[in-house]
Structure 1
Amino acid sequence: MDLSQVERIERAGLLCWPGIEVEWDGSWVRRAAGGYTKRANSLQCFDPADEADAVTRLSAAAAWFERRGLPPVVRTTPLASAALNTALDGTGWATIDPSCLFAMPLATQEPDPEGRTFTTTDPAFLAAQQALQGHSDQVMAQMRALLAVMAVPAAGIVIERDGVAVASGLMAIADGIVITGNVITDPTRRRQGLGAAMMRTGLTWAKAQGAVMAALNVQADNAAGQALYHSLGYQRCYDYHYRVRR
């Protein structure tokens, strides 16, 4: 995948998983969302040529996160400048959570008969996410705060069996790309096709909203997740990881 497509997907990701506070420094963006997910609470570079004063700017970004009570985190994609990577290496930042971006053209899908689509702030969707993710009330408050600033078309997807939520996810659309997050299946009911049913239901909603491409993030060591997404037609397009201070 060429860098223009990487940038298109990553910029869609900024809108589909927004920060509550956002500050640009050239092509580097700092985002904070109360600590809910590394992606929404990290520094990211969007131009490989933006290399000036990398050590100074990295230090300033780290201080920006610390003033907000957040650990400094950098999301490193193929768009990161060589100077930023060198600054991270030279100042002792560790590499964690190697991950992959999967994407595909959005084809027609068959939704699950018991799939339900909610607004992202609907109590039924939030209750399903809390039950399946095992989130505390504090984490759910952080999630609700992030969802409150989401300004693109979005939906919460829930699959039910016998009236009980067994799989859930969140779909949001920007620039014709539907990005999926918060994918979760009841751990006692895995390998029953429930995650695939949730994905097909959400992608059907997205196609009806005009999305033409689908993308999502998955950790490199999540073999089951990668197999699921491959089965739906997604392909691994590029890798990324996070950097944290030791």
Structure 2
Amino acid sequence: MIVNWPAVVDGTWPAASVKRIGNITLREGQGGGSRVSAASIEGNVSDEQIADAEKIMLDMGQRRLFQVRPGQDALDARLAALGYDVLDPVNIYACAAGLLTDKPIPRVTVFTLWEPLAIMREIWAAGGIGPARQAVMDRASAPKAGLLSRYNDKPGGAAFVAIHEGVAMVHAVEILPHQRKQGLGQWMMRGAAFWALDNGADTLSVICTKANEGANALYRSLGMEVVGAYHYRLKP
């Protein structure tokens, strides 16, 4: 299956609004982070169009931020020449959802539900995933779910998963500091895989920054493979 990974990201973690200027797609994130506020370019653009896009981003109260995808080396060099710095290179991981359903999840370890419980929103907020990022989850189209993990009868972590065109993408994975190193990350990914299959998705995916060594090691240990990558260019 050929997957349009940018479309999966947009479909499962949507911007508040989207507009196009020629070959430039502009996203209004309303404080929801880089994924929902970065502009992207497909095809040729003029310096004037880039300048117009910059003005719109500033008028929206956002940073001048572009997403650069594989194969866009010329665009990357052009933005660098315009004074843009590299920001947050990321990996996109994926695997067959069935790969992570090979063992049962221990009882009361992972729950999937929508709407999120108050404790889930508190866990996200404690990890820097505040109301603006939680609003991204709220506006995502179904099927979607929040995941709550537990360890020793205490809340352990929260995550979000949604489906776009047969791909379930996990976002906002957050484990409470005192509950880390207990395997909750892998159980949440396994819980997402079971949920994905139950809701018509046969592929499970997740994004993390390349700098997050722990997350990259976790996803590799689960047999997930890097299927895509991108980075941002930010103009200070």
Q: TM-score, normalised by structure 1?
A: 0.86
Query: CA offsets, 1:150-209, max 9 Å, x none?
Result: 113110001112442212111010000011110111222322111111111121111110
Q: Distance in 2 between matches of 1:99 and 1:209?
A: 27
Residue of structure 2 equivalent to 1:113: 107
- C-alpha displacement of 1:244: 0.4
Q: 2:68 aligns with which of 69, 76, 81?
A: 76
Report whether the alignment pairs 1:90 with 2:49.
no
- C-alpha displacement of 1:78: 1.4
Residue of structure 1 equivalent to 2:189: 199
SS in 2 for 1:74: strand
Contact 1:121 1:144 in 2 (8 A): no
Contact 2:23 2:45 in 1 (8 A): no
Aligned-pair Cα RMSD in Å: 2.1
Report whether the alignment pairs 1:52 with 2:42.
no
- Opposite residue 76 of structure 2, the aligned amino acid is N
Q: Distance in 2 between matches of 1:118 and 1:58?
A: 42
Contact 1:102 1:238 in 2 (8 A): yes
- Opposite residue 177 of structure 1, the aligned amino acid is V
List gaps (5 residues or longer) in structure 2. Answer: none
Q: Distance in 1 between matches of 2:148 and 2:72?
A: 35
- Opposite residue 178 of structure 2, the aligned amino acid is T
- Opposite residue 112 of structure 2, the aligned amino acid is T
Report whether the alignment pairs 1:213 with 2:203.
yes
Q: Distance in 2 between matches of 1:21 and 1:205?
A: 28
Q: TM-score, normalised by structure 2?
A: 0.89
Q: Distance in 1 between matches of 2:105 and 2:28?
A: 35
Q: 1:42 aligns with which of 4, 19, 38?
A: 38
Q: Distance in 2 between matches of 1:143 and 1:212?
A: 26
Q: 1:168 aligns with which of 158, 164, 168?
A: 158
SS in 1 for 2:58: helix
- Opposite residue 111 of structure 1, the aligned amino acid is I
Contact 1:101 1:237 in 2 (8 A): yes
More deviation, 95-104/110-119 = 110-119
Percent identity (aligned):
23
Q: Distance in 1 between matches of 2:84 and 2:50?
A: 11
Contact 1:120 1:147 in 2 (8 A): no
Residue of structure 2 equivalent to 1:129: 124
- Opposite residue 117 of structure 1, the aligned amino acid is T
Report whether the alignment pairs 1:16 with 2:12.
yes
Contact 1:118 1:125 in 2 (8 A): no
- Opposite residue 113 of structure 2, the aligned amino acid is F
List gaps (5 residues or longer) in structure 1. Answer: none
- Opposite residue 79 of structure 2, the aligned amino acid is L
Cα distance 1:12–1:228, how it changes in 2: closer, same or farther (>3 A)?
Answer: same
- C-alpha displacement of 1:134: 5.0
Report whether the alignment pairs 1:231 with 2:224.
no
Aligned length: 232
Query: CA offsets, 1:14-73, max 9 Å, x none?
Result: 11000001112344321112121110111023x4xx1132x2222111111111111111
- C-alpha displacement of 1:112: 4.0
